[in-house]
Amino acid sequence: MGKAPKKRSLADKVRKTKTNPAIKNNPFEVKINRKKFDVLGRKTKHDVGLPGVSRSKAINKRKETLLKEYKQKNKASKFVDRRLGEYDAKMAPEDKILQRFALERQRIHEKKDMYNLNEEEELTHYGQSLAEMEKFNDVVNSDDESEEKGLLSAELTASHFGGGGGGGLLRKKTSGEQQQEDGNQRAKSRQELIEELIQKSKQEKRERQVQKEEAQELTEKLDQEWKSIQSLMVKKTAKTELADKPEEKPKLDEYDMMVRELGFEMKAQPSEKMKTPEELAREEKEKLQKLEADRLRRMMGEEEDTKAQSQTRMSADDLNDGFILDKHDKKTLAYQDGKWNIEEEEEEAAEDEEGESGEEQESDEEEEEEEASSEEEEEEEDGQSDLESEQESEDEEKNQEDDGKPKKTLSKEEMKAQQQAAKAELPYTFAAPESYEDLKDLLCGHTPENQRLIVARTQKCNHPSLAVGNKLKLQKLFGFLLEYIGELALRTPPELTAVDKLVPELYALCQMFPDAAAAAVQRVLADAAHSVEELIELKGHAPFPTLDTLIYLKLTALLFPTSDFRHPVTTPALLYISLTLTKCPVRSFQDVTTGLLLCCLTVEYVSFSKRFLPELVNFLTGTLHLAVRDKTSLGYTVAPPFRPSGKCSDLLVLSDPESCRSWKKKPLPLSATRCLELKDDLDRDHHRLTCLSACLDLVKRCCLLYKDLPSFTHIFQPVRSLLSKHLSIQTLPEALQELHREITDAIGSAPTAHRRLVFDKKKPIPLKLLTPKIVEVLDYGKKRGCTREEREKERLKHKYKKEFKGALREIRKDSRFLAREKLNEVMNRDAERKRKVKELFGSLATQEGEWKALKKKKRK
Amino acid sequence: MAPSKKRNVNPRNTSERGSKAAKVDLESVVDRILESRKHANDVFDILESLQSEKERDVVSAVDACCRLFSTLLERKDLFVGKLPAEDEALSGEYSAEDKCRIFMRHRYNACVEILLEHLNHEEFGVKESALCCLMKFAARQGQHPLEDLDWSEHHSFPWELMLAVVENLTSKSTDNTLLISRFQEFLEMDDVRYYVMSALRESVGKVMDKNKGTVLPVYQNNVFTLMSSINMPSQQSELTNFMVKQEAKLENWKAAKLNEHKRAFEKMWLSFLKYKLPSNIYKKLLVILHDSILPHMSKPTLMIDFLTAAYEVGGAISLLALNGLFVLIHQHNLDYPDFYKKLYNLLEPTVFHVKYRARFFHLANLFLSSSHLPLYLVAAFAKRLARLALTAPPTGLLIVLPFIYNLIRRHPSCRVLLHKPSTEDEPVEDPYLMDEEDPAQCRALESSLWEIKTLQKHYHPDVVKAAMMINTPLSEQEEDISEVLELTTYELMERDLKQPQDKKSIPLEFETATQLLKGGGDVLAHHFCLLADE
């Protein structure tokens, strides 16, 4: 209770001793430290010093410590002062006295009054007997009372009923005379005072209560008023912004919430204006340009800056308010209700009056629509836009219900019934498959379109924002899908339509989890390459990759950019293609087809970046070589895996030149890489011609791709001599002759002369600059240019130096002080001795004088 | 005893019963024969089961034979000296003791013959046990010779037996690689090795002459496997491990001298190389030539003819012959005219694809490391390699680009290939003649390495980085190509696959994928369709 005031008073005391204004103002005591420069903003602590004061302080301190020690030196015994709190500066003298008294009492009590039951001790207050005090009845000093009225009750009571040490402190302020009077006064009016105090505190309490009630009433009133305004504002914003929000209903009883809303939400924000089609197109274009620039930069192999390509893409209608997640939330709700679909169908129905369209058709239409409107839209947004429309239509529905148009709703219900019946078998929610087997079970037996729908719905039901584990589930789903696609490709016949349908889903998943997707594709590629490499180690060659690997390679090109200078997925994929094109010997039509497919893929991979692949040209030359009838006296060389002559090197030579008449170009099925049904020689010849035409077309594309390379003519030299000298043009169909001509023209027209190679011009080394280097300094007084540890070290070193110097100075001062003391001692001793000697001499002199006088007397 | 004998007489019975019982029976028969001569006739039972159909029976019979005859050899219970014919011996004036020995010696000879036949048995188990048994006989026979000579002056070694074993090992019809690798353990013994080498030389000469030098792939493969499994000692002091311990005159024994070993080794190889070889053996031979044949020959220069012939063949064989030639040129002062010209002509697109690529480039690097080569030659090599680089896979490019740079670094005057500032900035056609066989005439020095400029557009980033080095003056320090020599495409892929993808996320394709065949210029869709019937 009384501690806080006590401390305060103590602090006052200390301060008083420290700063003596009399001394401070004395010009003879003050020493002003002159500053060399005036630095703005620097706080100066030591501009004025008091040397005399500090010196005397130091001397006093030494006298108390050092001198005492010095005096105690070589002394065996020591005087110990055991008085309670004698040297405790913190203890107030009153406390000291009290404790000493208590101790004394205790001692007496223990010793004497152990068995003394009757004798009561006399209660005292400040050493005066209370009994005596009560006899006096002094009048209360009304002035005093009025003075103290404003004080807080706690303090007041403390001062009045302190009894012990606490009261004394307060009283210290008053003078000694008053103290005595006060004591008398209190003795008289204590009861009155108590009553008064109680009354006062009660009154204060009441006042406070009243105030509070008033404030509450006012706020409530304000709330109600605000509510009326607010509803207006909400209505305004609701149209432009979000359709329904949970915060819309203001909770009146929660004041805090209201305040916060006032602070943040209820500012009427300007909505984004509707964009004209031109603006939309321009935005789209800008975005594409940015992405394109990004791609080019990566192609050049420049280091990516930290701002990577953002994965979250915004639609034109996106308000950039992070609302997507909420939407997803609702999406699932809608799914569970089965409402989502209904609404979607409604929308569809509006466009397509027949209303019989199944889910397949619908989504097809959707896709078409979106493709038409914007190429950039993603599958995800597809869902979003559906949802938006759903919400709108939900609102509409409500309005309609309010307005009372039963006719339209009826028709809708009909449609709903129809369509539910149409696809009752396909549920709307799917659990994410935990294993590959799960996925297979899930997709087994559905049509390709339904498989796509299932995957899409699984993906939406397990969106990462819905639950914690969903991200991992979907990442796994990507891996399973890849595996599934591989299996589909390996079935007989390969179910490629299903693969085709699953591609958008894979793309969407890949956009969501680039890292996981890249890791999965990398794993597939690494496995494939590893097996090829092992076979090469073992046998020196390997079979061509199977259809699943080919599809993986194509997917890689679809999912990842192929033009990057270095990409963790596409660079290995290209290397893998190169490996297969150089190490897999061509032994059958299937091998030729696979090789050509790989070449197609390769051309696609480098179509944008126009990078040079020697293996591609080699392989195409080799394939053309397979069609050369006469293998003697070659004017060119073929690179492995092809051989100039030998088994299987006449694979593409036509058996009957007449068969080119009936040949018509048609695309090869992908399954031709595995099995071919060629019944007779005519079929075989047709296949040969198809391969040849594909090969020639690829050569043509390569010519176009590489025509800017300095060594273009040398690269295509074998092709040129092969086409011009060995592959007779007359025996080929018209289309091939055309291609043939185009290629030879392209190769022939390329420039053969080039500038000589020179090194890049070096930048001249700049001369040494003599202007001073200007470094902008923002934090004065701090050491710069080193790490935190170094700075800390510097700081500690500095501190140590300072301390060391200080300690040295102190020690010097100490020794000086001691020397002075010793000198004083010696001088004192000498003076004493001198005095004593003088005294002795004096006494002796007087003695002598007396004796002489006596003698003189006697003589006289 | 009688019933047991009956049982053993009938071989059909033996084969019908469990082989374990048969083995036990054979063991007991052997014991009986060894016990007393009364049961000597039982040896026919063993020989019969040695020819049985069942592998197990044969193996146990081989074991039994092995025990029986090695004990007999040790006891000297076989007839020593010139063996009289059996009928003659029965009628002759030999003592009963000798008759018995003659009988046993005949059985021993029969047994050895059967075992030699078994060396070409279909079952490996039989082959192996027969071989072990024969070698055991050989060891015993060496210790207790069957010839009647003064052994204090001659060195005993069962030469005929060895020759027969070698001839049967190098069969003309079956591939005995596995058995030969088993035989390798006996080749560790120095005397066996020496006699095998001599035997090989004789048998090769005999067989090949009989076939008039035509190629016998299986036979030659067997011979080659046997020959290449010979590990020659490198010092005289290593010749300590002998199968037959000779009591006398070790210093005169040929099998105990390293020089004789070397001579035998050399003769063996030369007799083998005299004849035409199948190409796969040719290649295998050239692969090991420099390091396990040449150092152990007493006169390696005898190989010059063979190697130069191989170098002239062209293709992979020439590449492989390089290594042996290098040893001869480097250590034995071979002067080979037009060596560099031939080397230059070895540079074909295939060098980047063959299995021996690392070896070839390693050697080529050595050959071209001399700073005394003429400038035109170095330039020709650099230009030709650059031209070939246009068809090379990335792993080859990662070798050849530093290779070219190293050439230019060693011969700074070749810098004109990379840097030829001229006053008139006219574009020129490449004057280099790829088809010219003489490096002096190919005008490489007048050309520039535009091919490397082309490779700056290569698809692999590492290659591009290497090719970009020609844009600035090359550094002084040569690059070490030894670490890229063995690089495989898979290792190259792994560099990208294993790269940690920490902070940066992987860039994605921004064009939405809708169909499998779409995208990338639709090349695939142009030539292929999803389904056959479309």
Residue ending a domain, choose from B249, B276, B303: B276
Residue-wise burial string across B81-102, b where 16 or more C-beta atoms lie within 10 A, e elsewhere: eebbeeeebeeeebeeeeebbb
Average pLDDT over residues B236-251: 65
Most confident of A321-330, A730-739, B525-534: A730-739
Q: Which of residues 311-330 of A touch B (CB under 8 A)?
A: 311
Phi, psi of A125 (to 5 degrees): -130, 115
Say whether pLDDT at A517 is over 70.
Answer: yes
B20: pLDDT confidence band, cut at 50, 70 and 90? Answer: low
Asked if residue A724 lies in contact with residue A628, where contact means CB atoms within 8 angstroms, the answer is: no
pLDDT tens string B415-449: 888 888 776 677 888 888 888 888 888 888 888 88
The number of domains in chain A is 2
Q: Quote the pLDDT of residue A374.
A: 42
Is A487 found in the same domain as A584? no
- What are the pLDDT digits (tens) for B132-148? 888 888 777 777 766 66
Q: Tell me how far apart the alpha carbons of residues B158 and B142 are, in angstroms, rounded to a whole number.
A: 6
Pick B373 or A330 by higher pLDDT. Answer: B373
Residue A688 has pLDDT above 70, yes or no: yes
Contacts of B154 (CB under 8 A, 6+ apart): none
The CA distance from B131 to B185, in Å, is 11
Q: Which of A500, A582, A639 sits opposite B530 (nearest CB)?
A: A500
Chain centroid, CA A407 distance in Å:
54
- Choose the final residue of a domain: A512, A529, A557: A512
Same domain, A607 and A571: yes
State the Cα–Cα distance between residues B466 and B458, nearest whole angstrom: 10
The answer to whether residue A540 is domain-embedded is yes
CA–CA distances in Å: residue A138 to residues A129, A141, A183, A189, A605: 16, 9, 9, 9, 112
Residue A482, in any domain of the structure: yes
Contacts of B350 in chain A (CB under 8 A): 639-640
Residue A755 placed within a domain: no
Residue B343 lies in a domain: yes
Residue B458 φ/ψ, nearest 5 degrees: -65, 160
Residues of B in contact with A603 (CB under 8 A): 520-521, 523
Distance of CA A83 to the CA centre of its chain: 65
Note whether A554 and A692 are same-domain residues.
yes
State whether A603 and A737 are in the same domain.
yes
Q: Specify the pLDDT at position A10.
A: 42
Better-scored residue on pLDDT, A419 or B384: B384
**Is the same domain home to B218 and B321?**
no
Are residues A486 and A563 located together in one domain of the fold? no
What percentage of chain B exceeds 90 in pLDDT? Answer: 4
| Phi, then psi, of A107 in degrees rounded to 5 | -60, -45
What values do phi and psi take at B186, rounded to 5? -75, -25
Q: What is the mean pLDDT of residues A146-156?
A: 47
For B461, which of A566, A569, A762 is closest by C-beta distance?
A566
Quick one: which of A349, A482, A336, A481 has its CA closest to A413?
A349
**pLDDT over 70 (residue A272):** no
pLDDT score at A366? 43
**pLDDT tens per residue, range A101-144:** 888 888 877 666 566 665 556 666 776 667 666 665 554 444 44
Pairing of strands A128-129, B428-429: unpaired
Is there a single domain that holds both residue A505 and residue A642? Answer: no
Which residues in chain A are contacts of B490 at CB distance < 8 A? 529-530, 532-533, 579
**A639 Cβ partners below 8 Å, 6+ apart?**
A582, A618, A621, A622, B349, B350, B352, B353, B391
| Contact status, residue B378 vs residue B406, Cβ threshold 8 Å | no
Which one has a higher pLDDT value, B247 or B93? B93
H helix intervals, B119-172: 124-143, 159-169
Which residues make beta-bridge pairs with A125? A128
ipTM score of the complex?
Answer: 0.74
pLDDT for the residue numbered A187? 52
- pLDDT for position A134: 65
| Beta carbons of B93 and B56 less than 8 angstroms apart | no
A505 within domain boundaries? yes
- Three-state DSSP class for residue B458: strand
Give me the domain span that covers residue B447: 337-421+430-499
- B191, two tokens: 């005397």
Q: Do B363 and B451 fall into the same domain? A: yes
The region that residue B92 occupies, defined by phi over 0 for left and psi between -120 and 50 for alpha, beta otherwise, is: beta
Element (H, E) at B429: strand B428-429
pLDDT for the residue B309: 82
Number of structural domains chain B divides into: 4
Reduced to 3 states (helix: H, G, I; strand: E, B; else coil), residue B210 is: helix
Give residue-wise pLDDT tens across range B483-523. Answer: 888 888 888 888 888 876 655 677 887 777 777 777 767 77
Does A526 fall in a domain?
yes
* pLDDT > 80? residue A30: yes
| pLDDT higher at A520 or B64 | A520
- Which one is predicted more confidently, A765 or A389? A765
Q: Are residues A629 and A488 in the same domain?
A: no
Residues of A in contact with B516 (CB under 8 A): 496, 499-500, 503, 551, 554-555, 558
Dump pLDDT digits (tens) for B441-492: 888 888 888 888 889 989 998 899 999 888 888 888 888 888 888 888 888 8
Residues in chain B: 534
Residue A406 lies in a domain: no
Higher per-residue confidence, A549 vs B19: A549
Question: Tokens 């205790």 — which residue?
Answer: A106
Q: Is B294 on the interface with A (CB under 8 A)?
A: no
Q: What is the pLDDT of residue A220?
A: 92
Within 8 A of B519 by CB-CB distance, chain A residues are: 557-558, 604
Residue A848 has pLDDT above 50, yes or no: yes
- What whole-number distance in Å separates Cα of residue A498 and Cα of residue A447? 8
- Number of residues written out for chain A: 860
Task: Residue A634: name the closest of A624, A649, A644 by CA.
Answer: A644
pLDDT category at A447 given cuts 50, 70, 90 is confident
Q: Which of A195-199, B160-164, B253-257, B307-311 has the highest mean pLDDT?
A: A195-199
- Model confidence pLDDT, tens digit, residues A801-819: 999 999 999 999 999 999 9
Is the domain of B437 the same as that of B358?
yes
CA distance A666 to B254: 79
Q: Is B214 on the interface with A (CB under 8 A)?
A: no
Q: For B215-225, what is each residue's pLDDT tens digit?
A: 777 777 887 88
Residue B187 and residue B100 in one domain: no
Residue A807 has a pLDDT of 96
Mean pLDDT for the stretch of residues A135-159: 49
C-alpha torsion B89→B93→B94→B99, nearest 10 = 40
Give the residue from B283, B383, B423, B457 with the most A CB atoms within 10 Å of its CB, the best one to mutate. Answer: B457
Chain A nearest CA to B504, separation (Å): 7
Distance CA B122, CA B100 (A): 35
Task: Please state, for a pLDDT cut of 70, what percent of chain B lies above it.
Answer: 83
- Shared-domain flag, residues B178 and B190: yes
Q: What does the alpha-carbon distance between residue A64 and residue A112 come to, in Å, rounded to a whole number?
A: 40
pLDDT digits (tens, 9 = 90+) for A335-379: 444 444 444 444 444 444 444 444 444 444 444 444 444 444 444
The CA R_g of chain A, rounded to the nearest whole Å, is 52
For residues A311-319, average pLDDT: 47
Q: Please give the Cα distance from B368 to B402 (Å, whole number).
A: 13
* B402 pLDDT higher than 70: yes
Contact, A531 vs A579, CB < 8 A?
A: no
Residue A508 shares a structural domain with residue A567? no
Q: Is B468 on the interface with A (CB under 8 A)?
A: no
Note whether residue B71 is domain-resident: yes
CA-nearest residue to A753 within chain B is B429
* Judgement on whether residues A479 and A610 belong to the same structural domain of the protein: no
Q: What is the pLDDT of residues A464-509, one digit of tens each?
A: 777 777 888 888 888 888 888 888 888 877 788 888 888 888 888 8
Q: What is the pLDDT of residue B16?
A: 44
Asked if the structure places residue B514 within a domain, the reply is no
Residue A431: the pLDDT is 76
Is residue A695 in a domain? yes
Chains A, B: CB pairs < 8 Å:
282
CB atoms within 10 A of CB A820: 12
Give the closest of B434, B459, B505 to A574, CB-based. B459
How far is residue A507's CA from residue B448's CA, in Å, rounded to a whole number? 46
Check whether residue B378 and residue B251 sit in a common domain.
no
pLDDT-derived band at A217 (thresholds 50, 70, 90) equals: very high
The pLDDT tens digits of the residues spanning A552-565 come to: 888 888 888 888 88
Among A172-176, A209-213, A638-642, the minimum mean pLDDT is found in: A172-176
The residues facing A612 across adjacent strands are B458
Q: By the CB < 8 Å criterion, does A456 face chain B?
A: no
| Residue A334 pLDDT greater than 80, yes or no | no
Chain B: closest CA distance from residue A384 (Å): 17
Q: What does pLDDT average to over chain A?
A: 73
Last residue of a domain, one of A465, A491, A512: A512
Residue in A736, A733, A659, A725 with CA at minimum distance from that of residue A695? A736
What is the per-residue pLDDT for A797? 94
What is the model's pLDDT at position A836? 93
Are residues B343 and B476 located together in one domain of the fold?
A: yes
Do residues A715 and A706 lie in contact, with contact meaning Cβ atoms separated by under 8 Å? yes
| Per-residue tokens: A563 | 């033009």
Q: Are residues B327 and B351 in the same domain?
A: no
Whole-number Cα distances in Å, A327 to A333, A388, A513, B288:
10, 8, 20, 73
Main-chain dihedrals φ then ψ at residue A659, nearest 5 degrees: -70, -15
Of A467, A494, A499, A464, whose CA–CA distance to A481 is shortest? Answer: A499
> Over 90: is that where the pLDDT of A213 sits?
yes
Average pLDDT over residues B271-281: 79
State the residue range of the domain holding A494. 425-512
A260 pLDDT above the threshold of 50: yes
Cβ within 8 Å of residue B383, ≥6 positions away? B417, B432, B442, B444, B447, B449
B510 domain-assigned: no
Buried b (16+ CB within 10 A) or exposed e, A146-161: eeeeeeeeebbbbbbb
Which is it for strands A48-49 and A668-669: parallel, antiparallel or unpaired?
unpaired
Using CB atoms, which residue from B390, B420, B493 is nearest to A526?
A: B493
Q: Is residue B364 within 8 Å of residue B348, measured between CB atoms?
A: no
- Give the residue-averaged pLDDT of A284-310: 67
Q: Does residue B155 sit in the same domain as residue B144?
A: no
Q: Alpha helices of B36-123 — where are they, by DSSP H?
A: 43-50, 55-75, 86-91, 96-118
* CB-based contact A639 B473, cutoff 8 Å: no
**Of A749, A780, A805, which residue sits at a domain end?**
A749
Distances A498 to A415, A439, A440, B315 between C-alpha atoms, Å = 29, 14, 13, 49
Read off the pLDDT band of A324 (50, 70, 90).
very low
CA distance A653 to A645: 13
B228 and B373: one domain?
no
**A714 occurs within a structural domain:** yes
Q: Are residues B232 and B204 in the same domain?
A: yes
Does residue B260 share a domain with residue B190?
Answer: yes
Q: For residue A568, list chain B residues with Cβ-Cβ distance below 8 A.
A: 496-497, 499, 501, 506
Shared domain for A639 and A694, answered yes or no, is: yes
Residue A729 has pLDDT above 60, yes or no: yes
Asked whether residue A160 carries a pLDDT value surpassing 70, the answer given is no
Distance CA B421, CA B166 (A): 70
Residues A533 and A620 in one domain: yes
CB-based contact, A373 to chain B, within 8 Å: no
Same domain, A562 and A490: no
- Across A716-722, average pLDDT: 85
What residue in B sits closest to A537 (Cα-Cα)? Answer: B355
pLDDT, residue A806, reads: 95
Closest listed residue to residue B11, CA positions, set B56, B44, B59, B60: B44
Please report the pLDDT score of residue A348 as a whole number: 41
- Please report which confidence band the pLDDT of residue A610 belongs to, taking 50, 70 and 90 as the band edges: confident
User: How many other CB atoms are found less than 10 A from the CB of residue A694?
Assistant: 25
